[in-house]
Amino acid sequence: MGNIISDNTLKFQSSSKSKSTKSKLSLATTTKTSRSSESTYRYVDGRRFNENSKYALPNDDAEIDRLHLQHYLQRYIWQGNFCSPVHKSLKKSGARVLDVGCGPGTWILEMAFDYPNAIFTGIDISPMYPKEIKPINVDFEEADLTEGLPFADDTFDFVVMRNMVNALTVDDWENCLKELERVCKPGGFVECLEFQIPAIHLGKVSKRINEAYIKIMRTKNIDIMIAPRLEEMFTTCTTLTNIEHHVRMAPVGKWGDKAGKIMSEDLILITKAMGPVLTPLWGIGASQYEEFANESAREFEEGKSYCNIHVIYAQKYEPYRYI
């Protein structure tokens, strides 16, 4: 497992290695013109959504906080920030890393401290990443993955995409995995991490919420239960070899100690974020929906719920290795 965190405690800041002075912060001003403006957003029940995207979750400050929280939970569950065997190659000067759908950039910012010789690029359809204050080896770009990645073939040593089940249709997944494969250098690695939805041992209310949400997303051809099928999708990428698929369990609720409490908080925040999608369907108000979300939290405790997290990674075929 790459980038192992040595002790078994949940950390809410970068590891001490991450705090070293070897990486420099710069006041980099991005020169790219952003096509986003307030007019491209729509507001429902006080939450902000990107009008130009199929993505069903909000992109406001509350969602940024949730994604930070989720990042630290996932790092703890996997005891590191990645699974592919790329530690050595990322130490090399000029190694290039791409994070697709990078959100607020939590993963990239941490990786950029850990690997100061590598160059990191994050893309997202909603520019919720830091625009000015960021390490000098980090750049972010506003781009829609489904329109193709704005990079040449064979550009990156490591291509990562995490937590995108709400964002991509089944067809998008097939095309996007091929895009990740295309921009990855021969010998480089492509890695995806996704929660398996729904969580296991859910109570009545949580099940009802999940079933309704799954159904709504299906009408957009988005299958949020796709995680267990990603390995098979990787096999359709003809130059991806040595495919590895690992699954780890994340407890949901106090029964799972600190990680379980955070996982529960994450699921409740996601449930609340789904509110603007579900309340019109059920004809209920935001406060009644909030009661459902709180009932969900009680059910996690009773049922000892848990969630599986899948990591799939593969290496891009390097022709000369086989001559």
Ligand X SMILES: C[S@@+](CC[C@H](N)C(=O)[O-])C[C@H]1O[C@@H](n2cnc3c(N)ncnc32)[C@H](O)[C@@H]1O
Least distance from C-beta 192 to ligand X, angstroms? 10
* CB of 71 or CB of 299, closer to ligand X: 71
* CB of 159 or CB of 205, closer to ligand X: 159
67 touches ligand X by CB under 6 A: yes
Least distance from C-beta 245 to ligand X, angstroms? 18
Choose the stretch contacting ligand X; rule: CB under 6 A; options: 14-22, 138-146, 150-158, 303-311.
138-146
* CB of 166 or CB of 264, closer to ligand X: 166
* CB of 48 or CB of 205, closer to ligand X: 48
Among 3, 59, 89, 305, interactor with ligand X by CB under 6 A = 59
103 touches ligand X by CB under 6 A: yes
Among 15, 121, 126, 279, interactor with ligand X by CB under 6 A = 126
* CB of 147 or CB of 318, closer to ligand X: 147
Least distance from C-beta 295 to ligand X, angstroms? 24
125 touches ligand X by CB under 6 A: yes
Q: How far apart are CA 39 and CA 51, in angstroms?
A: 9
55 touches ligand X by CB under 6 A: yes
Q: Which amino acid is at 305?
A: S
Among 73, 167, 252, 274, interactor with ligand X by CB under 6 A = 167
Among 77, 102, 138, 263, interactor with ligand X by CB under 6 A = 102
* CB of 123 or CB of 205, closer to ligand X: 123
Size of the site for ligand X (CB under 6 A): 19
121 touches ligand X by CB under 6 A: no
* CB of 205 or CB of 309, closer to ligand X: 309
169 touches ligand X by CB under 6 A: no
296 touches ligand X by CB under 6 A: no
Q: How far apart are CA 210 and CA 218, in angstroms?
A: 12
163 touches ligand X by CB under 6 A: yes
164 touches ligand X by CB under 6 A: yes
**Which contacts of 26-34 are long-range, i.e. CB under 8 A and separated by 24 or more positions?**
26/134, 26/135, 26/136, 27/132, 27/133, 28/132, 28/133, 28/134, 28/136, 29/132, 30/131, 30/132, 30/139, 30/140, 32/141, 32/142, 34/127, 34/131, 34/142
Q: Which residues bind ligand X (CB under 6 A)?
A: 53, 55, 59, 67, 71, 101-103, 106, 124-126, 144-146, 162-164, 167
